[in-house]
Amino acid sequence: MFDTATTALLRAVLDEICEGISQRETGARAHVASKILEAATEGEVSRERLKQVGRDALSHAPTMWR
* DSSP code string of 1-64: ---HHHHHHHHHHHHHHTTTS-TT-HHHHHHHHHHHHHHHHTT---HHHHHHHHHHHHHT---T
Percent of the chain with pLDDT over 90: 77
55 pLDDT above the threshold of 90: yes
Q: Give the confidence band of 64 by pLDDT, cuts at 50, 70, 90.
A: low
pLDDT for 13-43, tens place per residue?
A: 999 999 998 888 899 999 999 999 999 999 9
Nearest CA among 49, 37, 40, 65 for reference residue 27: 65
- What pLDDT is recorded for position 47? 97
66 pLDDT above the threshold of 50: no
What is the b/e burial string over 19-39, where b = at least 16 CB atoms within 10 angstroms of the residue's CB? eebeeebeebbebbbebbbeb
All structural domains of the chain with their residue ranges: 4-59
